[in-house]
Structure 1
Amino acid sequence: MQAILFDKDGTLFDFDATWGAWASGQLKALARSELHLRGLAAAIAFDLDHARFYPQSPVIAGTAGEVADLLLPLLPGYERADLIASLDAAAQQVPLVAPVPLRPLLETFRAQGLRLGICTNDSEATAHTHARRAEIHELFDMIIGYDSGFGAKPEPGPLLAFADRFGLDPSAVVMVGDSRHDLYAARAAGMRGLGVLSGPASEADLAPVAVAVLPDIGAIPEWLRQQGRAGRDG
């Protein structure tokens, strides 16, 4: 293996801990009444009472444009471009909660000579901002968002753009993510898709389309060791 490509939300950062309170605040800011608030929450499958997304929410792996399209029917007078810009701007300030200490883990991968990337359905600008705030930005060779010009997951385009940038065979890249979108994209790109449970999806959701499902990215080093042992034994 020569590279690891990470999804961002739900993978590098715990999904509900990072986005639950933020989403609740955004919906309350947009709502005109309690009834309107409940309608907005239902539109994006968000559990207001527990400040978390339901596992089937399209927001989990969606782009800001897809989120805007779900909310706009309930927001007369809003322009799509303005709502997307507002969501993207607010997303850059979201509190970041990582499932494990990120910098030591990523430095371990770099010390092994692995290239690292982020491939998210968030905007590229937000991904850069979050990586800087988490003090891990310089550890990544490439950061790709839905608006980087390569398409969005589950399409393979952004994953292949990463492989192409560094002349890597896709089979030498592992895509790590917390949703089926990530794993479908990996499969379509010819990469290995590694699932993690730091997002809303369950092991039962991810296992059918993943080469393995781990509790979080902190378990990747041991998984890599196991792969190395299996290769030597084979």
Structure 2
Amino acid sequence: MPVDALLFDKDGTLFDFAQTWNTWAAEVLNTLSRGDHAAKVGMARVISYDLDRSAFNADSLVIAGSNDEVAELLSPFVAHMDLPELTAFLAQSAATADLSPAVPLAAFLDDLLARGKVLGVMTNDSEISAKSQLERAGVLDRFAFVAGCDSGHGAKPDPDPLLAFCKAAGVAPERTAMVGDSLHDLIAGAAAGMRRIGVLTGMATAADLQDHADVVLPNIGHIPAWLDA
């Protein structure tokens, strides 16, 4: 069945996860710990971030979890902020993170639009962060729908935010592809009745994704060739 629409995850899909978020996390941990080494170590432990490598481990909840979930993990170590303040801080900080697009995004998205595809983004990050990052990357206007975990549709792996995209864009789930780098993305896509495209610009391996995807690609830049095939 043809694919009329593509719904993209953001981190690890449109943007390379490690190149974008490893450095950001180091800065956030330094800021939140305020020089308290024990607090920094504790925060790194609960989000599975390796301080020696300055890199997330593959099992980190941050990879696919929501902004709210990350804030709840960090909150016991951040006495100077309550949970709503910490959640807002993480969202605002993420919105200004240095971005590393997985491919030149404008040209890639324009090609899909020229093929008549409807495009959307659904991320477990906050909506304000997603829109800020897409705007800074110069591609926000390419998307008919952008939602985060706080947009009122729920969060992946639930299918509801994916179905919200279909409703907003006027496309059928079975003619839509969910594109993502994590099992959360692909499980949500399956539950929504969508095609599933896995990409390897996150922390998951091909072996992790292959049983849950129709195809696993090195990055989103390979999607046009897959559509042609």
- Indicate the TM-score class for this superposition, using the shorter chain for normalisation: over 0.9
Deviation at 1:169, TM superposition (A): 1.2
TM (normalized to structure 2)?
0.96
Identify the residue that residue 2 of structure 1 maps to in structure 2.
4
SS in 1 for 2:79: coil
The 2-side partners of 1:126 and 1:89 are apart by 7
Report whether the alignment pairs 1:143 with 2:140: no
> Hey, what does 1:171 align to over in structure 2?
174
The runs of 4+ residues in structure 1 deviating greater than 4 Å are none
> 1:68 matched to which residue of 2?
71
Q: How far does the alpha carbon of each residue in 1:90-148 deviate from its partner, in whole angstroms, 9 at most, with x for none?
A: 11110000121111110000000000000101111111111110001111111011111
Match of 2:165 in 1: 162
Letter in 1 for 2:173: P
Return the match for 1:186 from 189, 196, 201. Answer: 189
**Among candidates 21, 26, 47, match of residue 19 of structure 1:** 21
TM-score by length of 1: 0.94
Q: 1:125 maps to which residue? A: 128
Question: Per-residue deviation at 1:65?
Answer: 0.7
Cα distance in 1 between the residues matched to 2:79 and 2:136:
35
Which sections of structure 1, spanning at least 5 residues, go unmatched?
227-234
Tell me how far apart the structure 1 counterparts of residues 77 and 36 of structure 2 sit (CA, whole Å). Answer: 12
Alpha-carbon distance in structure 1 between the residues aligned to 2:68 and 2:126: 10
Q: State yes or no: 1:86 paired with 2:114.
A: no
Q: Deviations over 1:193-217 (max 9, x none)?
A: 1100000111111111111111000
Whichever residue aligns with residue 90 of structure 1, its letter is S
Alignment of 1:49 with 2:52, yes or no, is yes
In the TM superposition, residue 74 of structure 1 has moved relative to its aligned partner by 2.2
Cα offsets for 1:172-192 (capped at 9, x unmatched)? 000000000000100010001
Structure 1 CA distance for aligned equivalents of residues 54 and 39 of structure 2 = 17
How much does 1:77 deviate? Answer: 4.6
Tell me which residue corresponds to 1:217: 220
Shift of 1:19: 0.6
Paired amino acid for 1:48: L
Identity of aligned residues (%): 47
Q: Where do 5+ consecutive residues of structure 2 fail to align?
A: none
Mean CA deviation greater in 119-128 or 31-40: 31-40
Alignment match, 1:232 = none
From 99, 105, 108, the counterpart of 1:105: 108
- Within 1, Cα distance between the matches of 2:87 and 2:26? 17
1:122 match: secondary structure:
coil
AA of the residue aligned to 1:40: M
Quick one: which amino acid aligns to residue 153 of structure 1?
A: K
Rounded to whole Å, the distance in 2 between the matches of 1:76 and 1:86 is 14
The residue aligned with 1:231 is: none
Alpha-carbon distance in 1 for matches of 2:169, 2:145: 10
Q: Which letter does structure 1 place at the counterpart of 2:77?
A: L
Q: Per-residue deviation at 1:47?
A: 1.3
CA RMSD of aligned residues (A): 1.0
Q: Distance in 1 between matches of 2:214 and 2:67?
A: 29
